[in-house]
């Protein structure tokens, strides 16, 4: 694993199953490796907020993706570290769920950003998107309009990243 690798989780339980169904993806969660030497990733997690996690203790299956396009990884990692202990964005993830549900019903609301979005609250894919975009200068999901409408599945489908290992 390398610094900046994107871990996309294939959760099977509870809300993970709903996220996978709603986003039509096999992925329900995302984290970013900030130090392979320390086995450390940063993620935004419900009930816990933005936190560091020991990769060795991860039980759920995940795949590892890497950016194809160079970016400023030091700045990406600094962005993530700066966001540690930020709150989880419950409203934002709820808003994303509504948008994805409406799209499944044939009512796409593309480029509809969450007007109540706060810069201090994050859900997992929003944090990943912003770390690479605002921190590293690389929009890893150029086909998605805003960070608050980005899902783990959107990140996986990006042409700017590639699968390097399935777990």
| Residue 83 covered by a domain | yes
Q: What is the pLDDT of residues 86-103, one digit of tens each?
A: 998 877 767 777 777 777
The whole model's pTM is what? 0.85
Provide the CATH number for the domain around residue 141: 3.90.1720.10
| Residue 138 covered by a domain | yes
| Residue 1 covered by a domain | no
CB 2 within 8 A of CB 36: yes
CB 98 within 8 A of CB 108: no
* 59, pLDDT greater than 90: yes
| Residue 81 covered by a domain | yes
**Rounded Cα gap, residues 9 and 25, in angstroms:** 11
Where residue 110 falls among pLDDT bands split at 50, 70, 90? low
What was the pLDDT predicted at 119? 59
Structure tokens belonging to residue 75: 């700045």
Where residue 105 falls among pLDDT bands split at 50, 70, 90? confident
* 12, pLDDT greater than 90: no
| Residue 137 covered by a domain | yes
| Residue 82 covered by a domain | yes
* 112, pLDDT greater than 60: no
Instruction: Classify burial at 96, counting beta carbons within 10 Å of its beta carbon; exposed 0-12, middle 13-18, buried 19 or more.
Output: buried
| Residue 45 covered by a domain | yes
**Rounded Cα gap, residues 93 and 133, in angstroms:** 19
The domain of 11 spans 6-166
**Rounded Cα gap, residues 149 and 95, in angstroms:** 8
Q: 109 in helix, strand or coil?
A: coil
In 130-147, which positions are buried (b, 16+ CB within 10 angstroms) versus exposed (e)? bbbbebbebbbbeebebb
| Residue 67 covered by a domain | yes
How many folded domains does the chain comprise? 1
Spatial neighbors of 62 by CB under 8 A, at least 6 apart, are 7, 8, 9, 10, 167
């Amino acid at each position: 694993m390398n610094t900046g690798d994107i871990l996309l989780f294939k959760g099977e339980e509870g809300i993970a199953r709903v996220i996978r169904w709603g986003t039509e993806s096999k992925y329900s969660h995302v984290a970013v490796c900030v130090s392979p030497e320390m086995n450390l990733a940063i993620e935004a997690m419900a009930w816990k907020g933005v936190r560091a996690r020991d990769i060795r203790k991860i039980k759920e299956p995940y795949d590892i993706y890497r950016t194809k396009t160079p970016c400023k990884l030091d700045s990406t990692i600094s962005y993530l570290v700066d966001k540690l202990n930020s709150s989880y964005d419950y409203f934002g993830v709820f808003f994303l769920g509504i948008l994805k549900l409406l799209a499944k019903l044939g009512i796409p609301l593309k480029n509809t950003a969450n007007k109540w979005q706060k810069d201090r609250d994050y859900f997992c894919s929003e944090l990943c998107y912003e770390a690479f975009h605002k921190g590293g200068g690389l929009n890893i999901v150029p086909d998605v309009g805003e960070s608050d409408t980005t899902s783990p599945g959107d990140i996986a489908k990006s042409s700017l990243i590639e699968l390097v290992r399935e777990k």
